[in-house]
Amino acid sequence: MIPYGRQDISSADVEAVVDVLRSDFLTQGPMVPRFEETLARTVDAPEAVAFSSATAALHIACLALGLGPSDRLWTVPNTFVASANCGLYCGATVDFVDINAKTRNMDVEALASKLEAAERDGTLPKVVAPVDFAGTSADLAAIRRLADRHGFRILEDASHAVGGYYQNRPIGSCEFADVTVFSFHPVKIVTTGEGGAATTRSAEIAHRMRLLRNHGISRDPADMTAVPEGAWYYEQVMLGFNYRMTDIQAALGVRQFDRLAEFVARRQTIAARYHEGLAGLPVIRQFVPEGTLSALHLYVIELDQTVRRTRAEVFAAMRASGIGVNVHYIPVHLQPWYRALGFSRGDFPAAEKYYDFALTLPIHPNLSVDQQDYVMERLSYALEA
Ligand SMILES: *Cc1c(COP(=O)(O)O)cnc(C)c1O
């Protein structure tokens, strides 16, 4: 099966992990800070905090932004469930903003009108979490203007997007977002096995995220209520978690970042070949706005309305040909957990319509030209048969 996404592990990556296994520290050693410095330098952010996953990073970012039980978090339906669940973890109410049919990212006009209504009702969100779908930045500058008008914080879920650029700035530089979160799961752009991180320009938010990642425990006298009783002394000053990344993961991550630009360039080449090769087929190709460099975590097409086969039929035909096509995403509000909270079909029509016709094609650094040609040939056949 040709997978839709796959990690690329070099012998240097393997050696870096083995070196940690032979060292004194498997966790809480020197590699996590080195990984955080590498990420901060790469995305040009003053603060980077590593976590055990992006899901953990989203949870802690929400807490660090002050999200609590009387608050609201808004995200998009076209995402992985974690972008919404982080709000529920904090006891907040979660709601959604529909996507733009063309960009498949948060629709800024839908956000603006939902905010107007919320302003009138006194139900404004504390946190809005746009997602950089497929590696392409959401329209963060426009969302920032709305944040300044309505007073919410921006939590950018850039799980797909490390290595991408928006308005000539690296995604994660937090030019517009309060916090940006990345995932290093093996299907994403670079990997640490499991792993995630958050970047921010706020030293205070970074400090809170570091405390919350490690049980709420501090060894810094500046955080303490009492004078340290000795060198062993620490205080738990808030209720935190164990969401730490290990040194084993961080060592892999440091080496993977050496090849980030190479991985993104390879994905660009594959996407350009799809764009050209699929031009004559009855599909909507992936769109990347002018002035944006997508990290291209995914390459998603939508079947044209003229195609007589259903998406399920095309999906099955491709899988039968050994091609690991996938579907991103089932709208989160249609998951049983969210339906039980009151959401139903019809609530976010653009995300629902997109979902009905979407098909994710393989894209990853080791997809060969021959494999890609095979994918396009089988797709052409599946659409017509
Ligand atoms: C993968 C993903 C996550 C979760 O990442 P983990 O590191 O697996 O916790 C969150 N949001 C989006 C949009 C994702 O694609």
Nearest CA to ligand 1 atom 10: 82
Cβ contacts of residue 247 below 8 Å, gap of 6+?
Answer: 20, 23, 25, 26, 27, 28, 29, 30, 31, 32
Query: Averaged over 279-296, what is the pLDDT?
Result: 96
pLDDT at 311: 97
* Cβ of 82 below 6 Å from ligand 1: yes
Ligand 1 geometric centre to CA of 50 (Å): 14
DSSP 328-354: ----GGGSHHHHTTT--TTSSHHHHHH
- Binding site membership of 87 for ligand 1 (Cβ less than 6 Å): no
Comma-separated ranges of CATH 3.40.640.10 domains in the chain: 2-257
pTM: 0.98
The answer to whether 85 and 55 are in contact (CB under 8 A) is yes
Residue-wise pLDDT tens digits, 331-343: 999 999 999 999 9
Q: Ligand 1 in contact with 364 (CB < 6 A)? A: no
pLDDT one-digit tens code per residue, 83-136: 999 999 999 999 999 999 999 999 999 999 999 999 999 999 999 999 999 999
Q: Report the pLDDT value the prediction gives residue 206, as an integer from 0 to 100.
A: 98
At residue 213, does pLDDT exceed 80? yes
* Ligand 1 pocket, residue 185 CB under 6 Å: yes
User: Which residue puts its alpha carbon closest to atom 5 of ligand 1?
Assistant: 54
Arch. (CATH architecture) of 2-257 = 3-Layer(aba) Sandwich (3.40)
Q: Write down the pLDDT at residue 385.
A: 72
Ligand 1: centre distance to CA 228 (Å): 39
Yes or no: say if 49 and 209 are a contact pair by the CB < 8 Å rule: yes
What are 19-77's pLDDT values in tens digits? 999 999 999 999 999 999 999 999 999 999 999 999 999 999 999 999 999 999 999 99
| DSSP state letter for 131 | B
Please state which CATH number belongs to domain 260-384.
3.90.1150.10
Active site residues: 188
In the chain, CATH 3.90.1150.10 sits at 260-384
